[in-house]
Amino acid sequence: MELIASASKTKEILNKYPFVFRKKYGQNFLIDSHVLNKIIEGAEIGREDFVLEIGPGIGSLTQVLSREAKKVVAVEIDSQLIPILEDVLKECDNLEIIHGDILKTDIKKIIEEKNNNQPIKVVANLPYYITTPIIMMLLENKLPVSSITVMIQKEVADRLIARPGTKDYGAITVAVNYYAVPYLVANVPRNCFIPRPNVDSAVIKLELRSEAAVEVKDEELFFKIVKAAFSQRRKKLMNNLISQEITDLSKDELALIFSQLAFDENIRGEMLSIEDFARLTNALKKE
């Protein structure tokens, strides 16, 4: 079967079927087979793998996934694309296409029924507008997922792999690193898509941890502190904790805790590592 991931084949498919791009779905179809290979290699897809693909589009990545994996379930939100996928990929006998919104799909049930509740791999070319909600949903629900390999906006990818003290480091960095170890697989220029987006992309792989990166006595408090720390980046961490009502402690009491943790009173949230956030959480929980 001819590869879908080329400009000529993609245009042929789009001209053959009654399809209209919907801006609300952020649709950009991959037309570079080299990038496909990098995704497959980065995700380490093999013959024993069950893959959940989010947003297959017209099937450029789906086609290659089905060649390499044992089973592929692809969830597509746009009803226009379902008959196109079913026709274009009719030769893929290990593929199941589901019409639905991934944020409302019972992924746990899919894994239980179709893979005997064994860990799966998630692969996706995520629409930019909904990247963070999808990634956090997959991580927070603690599903049997071993890795998540996604094409996302390069700017977001830079945030996921950022280091403390850099401009890209933020709440999403800490949150993702709490659940997973992120790796940059490849940078992808905008000319690899039809239609061409306004920004460059990157492929990121998240290897899920068997347990959280740090030990915290109160996970909810940990994430509240992280969110508050970056709520106003230029403000001091202490002031953010007070203004966001994270603690009832006075400024003097907070200063004492900061001193015990060897934090400067004027430190900003962006300077704290995930380990620092855990230490602060446990100290505030104790108080």
52: three-class secondary structure by DSSP = strand
Interatomic CA distance for residues 137 and 111, integer angstroms: 15
Helix 274-286 to helix 251-260 angle, to the nearest 10 degrees?
130
Angle at 254 between CA 277 and CA 217, to 5 degrees: 40
Cβ neighbours of residue 278 under 8 Å, at least 6 residues apart?
A: 214, 215, 216, 222
Mean pLDDT (whole number) for 252-264: 96
Residues 150-200 pLDDT 10s = 999 999 999 999 999 999 999 999 999 999 999 999 999 999 999 999 999
Pick the CATH number of 219-286 from 1.10.1270.20, 1.10.8.100, 1.10.10.10, 1.10.287.110: 1.10.8.100
- Looking at residue 23, its pLDDT comes to 77
Interatomic CA distance for residues 54 and 127, integer angstroms: 10
137 pLDDT higher than 80:
yes
Domains 7-208 and 219-286 share a fold: no
Residues 225-241 pLDDT 10s = 999 999 998 899 999 99
- Looking at residue 2, its pLDDT comes to 87
Interatomic CA distance for residues 56 and 75, integer angstroms: 7
CA–CA distances in Å: residue 258 to residues 141, 224, 231, 285: 33, 18, 19, 14
Q: Where are the domains of the chain?
A: 7-208, 219-286
> What average pLDDT does the chain have?
95
1 pLDDT higher than 80:
no
What percent of the chain stands above pLDDT 90?
91
Residues 14-62 pLDDT 10s = 999 988 888 778 889 999 999 999 999 999 999 999 999 999 999 999 9
What percent of the chain stands above pLDDT 70?
100
Fold classification of 7-208 (topology level): Rossmann fold (3.40.50)
Half-sphere exposure of 13 (CA within 13 A, CB side): 25
| Helix locations, the chain, DSSP H | 7-16, 33-43, 60-68, 81-88, 107-115, 131-140, 154-160, 171-179, 219-229, 237-243, 251-260, 274-286
Residues 85-132 pLDDT 10s = 999 999 999 999 999 999 999 999 999 999 999 999 999 998 888 899
Contact (CB, 8 A) for 200 and 188:
yes
